[in-house]
Structure 1
Amino acid sequence: MSSVCPMRSEGRGGCREGRPTDISSLRGVPSRCGRRAGLGWRSPWKVPCGHRDGIPETMAEGDNRSTNLLAAETASLEEQLQGWGEVMLMADKVLRWERAWFPPAIMGVVSLVFLIIYYLDPSVLSGVSCFVMFLCLADYLVPILAPRIFGSNKWTTEQQQRFHEICSNLVKTRRRAVGWWKRLFTLKEEKPKMYFMTMIVSLAAVAWVGQQVHNLLLTYLIATMVRMNVLADALKSINNAEKRGKRQVLIRPCSKVIVRFLTVMMKHGYIGEFEIIDDHRAGKIVVNLTGRLNKCGVISPRFDVQLKDLEKWQNNLLPSRQFGFIVLTTSAGIMDHEEARRKHTGGKILGFFF
């Protein structure tokens, strides 16, 4: 991520010390330049601005090229998916659980689809053919029916902005997939033995799991559990709100694990105070953001971590030893890794933030 120093302008010979403009090279940690308006936040990294001595201009030029390429790919995808705009916005609302009845509705639809597949028991060729046929029908009918159902004249600026964010996230996801594919081939060229052993062991493990568990049941569990991780959805909402520079974010549904995770984050000043609102349904949480948070996420599956292994996980998940925290669930409750070390206890890793 690249950012432009707010103090760099004509008539000013540089920027103030301690206001970073580009720290994306630090272990892939996203950065934000300067202070957010009205907040006395400073980045923990002291990196000079890109236009000063110490960081070459080519680095900023490379970041600009990458940003321009991302914008061009996003615009191209928006043009291709313009007929799907209303459907994508509705699907986004459902997947983000904006209504209390969306989670059980998702479970019901997914369960119904898998029950139909189980009842019909189609062959592989029939199943693939029906799936492709369904995609072709959707590709033809959705652009025609969507404007009549949702109303194309009701398209607002806020909807256009959200549609742009969805397309941008899709482009970034595609880039990550291509990046992992290229890394795999790089590993094959540089370390063929490690590549061979990794592929053989991984595929053998997948084959063993597929032999032990019914494939349809396994697929159903994966399809349901991917969207039923409320903690992952909550932290993703916080991440997205921070990237857009928002001061507050609404999280729903509410759960005890989310509340305790947020308490740990608030304890260390990475978020502000939060309010739990009882709406007589699933509940919701309003979180005040401070601009200090760079990234947060969950670790799935939840690995058992002993006290002696905390330092290894700390090196893997956090950018430095003095920056960020790992959150664990232990027999003494949910706490950060430093408190777990003081209490000489291990547990399961829930997630991290820095």
Structure 2
Amino acid sequence: MADISQEQEQQVKKLKRLLEGWRMALLPLKSIILWEQQWHPCAIVGFISFFYLLIWLLDLNTLTTFALLGLLLNFVDFIIPVITNSLYGPSAWTGQKEKTFEEICRSIVLSYNKTLKQISSFYSLRETGPCMYYIISISMLCTLAWVTSAINNIFLLYVLSVVVLLWPGIQNRGIFNTLLSMVNLAPKVAKLE
């Protein structure tokens, strides 16, 4: 167990070094992602909607879309550290901000490790229960093929993006747990015999 925490601490330190230029930008992003203000979910959905509306209006082919998306990500990765370093000097970075930045990095590492653990446990199912592994894999892939052939792919990516970016706020506010408890409290329907 000590090795796992030691490894996570190394991952946190590595991530902190990697995100050093982004640290001043990550603090407001954290408050937006976790919905610290009531308007934050609307801002997230509005930003994603604008982005996908732009993709839809440009109507580019797939490779051009990926190339432009890569250019945009490279530009943002370059410009954000430059802007934040020019707006905020080293004196603006306080111990409280450093603690918040470390919490952000720790939560990213924990989410990453949790996802990797779930993926590896699914693939370990191939060794322990191959029948169940293939039933789950084939049914999920068939469902995915059916859904993607029936619904526009850009719309599916839009919905996936909205869900992924709203999910931390949903968890932080406890909305998902509230919905689950409401389902559990729903009156049970009597079986007809």
Query: Smaller-chain TM-score range?
Result: 0.7 to 0.9
Judging changes above 3 Å, is the alpha-carbon distance between structure 1 residues 188 and 169 closer, same or farther for their aligned structure 2 residues?
same
Given candidates 181, 184, 188, the residue that maps to 1:346 is 188
Judging changes above 3 Å, is the alpha-carbon distance between structure 1 residues 176 and 130 closer, same or farther for their aligned structure 2 residues?
same
String of CA shifts for 1:3-31, please: whole Å, max 9, x gaps: xxxxxxxxxxxxxxxxxxxxxxxxxxxxx
What amino acid maps onto 1:234 in structure 2? R
Structure 2 residue 177 is matched with structure 1 residue 298: yes
Q: Could you say which residue in structure 2 is the equivalent of 1:132?
A: 70
What amino acid maps onto 1:221 in structure 2? V
Q: Secondary structure at the match of 1:100?
A: coil
Q: Secondary structure at the match of 2:38?
A: coil
Given candidates 40, 44, 69, the residue that maps to 2:7 is 69
Deviation at residue 141 of structure 1 after TM alignment: 2.4
> What is the percentage of aligned positions where both structures have the same residue?
24
Deviation at residue 118 of structure 1 after TM alignment: 0.6
Q: Distance in 2 between matches of 1:181 and 1:96?
A: 25
Q: Could you say which residue in structure 2 is the equivalent of 1:87?
A: 25
Q: Could you say which residue in structure 1 is the equivalent of 2:125?
A: 187
Structure 2 residue 172 is matched with structure 1 residue 233: yes
Q: Distance in 2 between matches of 1:142 and 1:231?
A: 27
Q: Secondary structure at the match of 1:97?
A: coil
Deviation at residue 156 of structure 1 after TM alignment: 1.4
> Larger RCO: Structure 1 or Structure 2 (Cα < 8 Å, ≥ 6 residues apart)?
2
Greater displacement, 82-91 / 226-235: 226-235
Q: Distance in 1 between matches of 2:155 and 2:38?
A: 27
Q: Is the 8 A contact 2:34 2:169 kept in 1?
A: no
Deviation at residue 83 of structure 1 after TM alignment: 0.8
String of CA shifts for 1:155-209, please: whole Å, max 9, x gaps: 1111111110110111111111221222232122233232222111101001111
Deviation at residue 211 of structure 1 after TM alignment: 1.7
Q: Could you say which residue in structure 2 is the equivalent of 1:328?
A: 182
Flag structure 2 segments of 5+ consecutive residues without an equivalent: none
Deviation at residue 230 of structure 1 after TM alignment: 6.2
Matches within 5 A, 1:135-154: 135-154=73-92
Given candidates 90, 96, 100, the residue that maps to 1:162 is 100
What amino acid maps onto 1:204 in structure 2? C
Q: Distance in 2 between matches of 1:217 and 1:186?
A: 33
String of CA shifts for 1:322-347, please: whole Å, max 9, x gaps: xxxx7224xxxxxx65xx6xxxx238
Judging changes above 3 Å, is the alpha-carbon distance between structure 1 residues 194 and 101 closer, same or farther for their aligned structure 2 residues?
closer
Q: Secondary structure at the match of 2:181?
A: strand
TM-score (normalizing by structure 1): 0.48
TM-score (normalizing by structure 2): 0.84
Deviation at residue 68 of structure 1 after TM alignment: 1.9
Q: Is the 8 A contact 2:12 2:105 kept in 1?
A: yes
Q: Could you say which residue in structure 2 is the equivalent of 1:26?
A: none
Deviation at residue 85 of structure 1 after TM alignment: 0.3
Higher strand share: 1
What amino acid maps onto 1:182 in structure 2? S
What amino acid maps onto 1:298 in structure 2? N
Deviation at residue 114 of structure 1 after TM alignment: 0.8
Q: Distance in 1 between matches of 2:69 and 2:114?
A: 26
Q: Distance in 2 between matches of 1:64 and 1:117?
A: 47
Deviation at residue 223 of structure 1 after TM alignment: 2.5
What amino acid maps onto 1:327 in structure 2? S
Q: Secondary structure at the match of 2:182?
A: strand
Q: Secondary structure at the match of 1:107?
A: helix
What amino acid maps onto 1:346 in structure 2? K
Report the structure number with the largest CA radius of gyration. Answer: 1
Runs of 4+ in 1 over 4 A off after TM superposition: 228-231
Q: Secondary structure at the match of 1:328?
A: helix
Q: How many residues align?
A: 188
Deviation at residue 215 of structure 1 after TM alignment: 1.7
Q: Distance in 2 between matches of 1:231 and 1:196?
A: 32
Q: Distance in 2 between matches of 1:147 and 1:155?
A: 11
